[in-house]
Amino acid sequence: MSDYKFDIEFNFEVFAEKELNHSEFERCIFNNCNFSNCVFAAVIFIDCIFYDCNFNNAKINHVAFRTVKFKNSSFENVNFAMCDKIIFEIAFEKCNLDFSKFYDLKLKGTNFKNCSIVAVDFMQADLTNVIFDNCDLYRTEFALAIANKSDFQTSYNYTIDPTKTRLKKAIFALEHVKGLLHKWDIIIK
């Protein structure tokens, strides 16, 4: 049986490992909450906003994120690849996503703004129309991803192999284009 919560604000909560399982949250706000111990099963978030929350190392394999926003939150070493893919719609602002995995996800139109996205796995992901606004993409993997029409203009430290990643009409700033030429060991001055 599902536990349904609508239009509730949660503040400074530390959630236990299985406390949220089989729950649905709609139009809820989470402020300074800690989800790092959670092992989610059958959890749904719809139109929710998370401010200053900690998801580091959380197991979110069976979570539905439907039009969810994360601001100033941390997701180090979180695997999004097994999330519910029906209406999977998320946005990140000032978040730490280092060492996370988005393998084979459809992230069309997702916004990443002022995020640390270091050593993240976007392999085989659909990144069409994704905006990477002022993000650090150091050691992030894009192999076999579709990044058509994605915007990398203000992001930096990326290394993307155009022979392994679809980049048709993707936007890059001239000053960071060396990240596309890394494979050929070309020196740009």
The domain defined by 1-95 folds into: Pectate Lyase C-like (2.160.20)
Q: How far is CA 139 from the centre of its chain?
A: 15
The domain defined by 97-184 folds into: Pectate Lyase C-like (2.160.20)
* Domains 1-95 and 97-184 belong to one CATH topology: yes
Per-10-residue mean pLDDT, the chain, length 189: 88 94 97 96 96 96 94 97 93 98 97 98 98 98 98 96 96 85 68
pLDDT of residue 14: 97
Residue of 147, 156, 161 lying closest to 175 (CA atoms): 156
pTM of the model as a whole: 0.93
Gap between the Cα atoms of 125 and 93, Å rounded: 20
The string of DSSP codes covering 94-141 is: S-B-TT-B-TT-B-TT-EEES-B-TT-B-TT-B-TT-EEES-B-TT-B
Parse the chain into domains and list their residue ranges: 1-95, 97-184
pLDDT of residue 126: 98
Per-residue tokens: 151: 């915007």
pLDDT of residue 1: 43
Under 8 Å between Cβ of 165 and 142: yes
pLDDT of residue 188: 64
The number of beta carbons lying within 10 Å of the beta carbon of residue 84 is 16
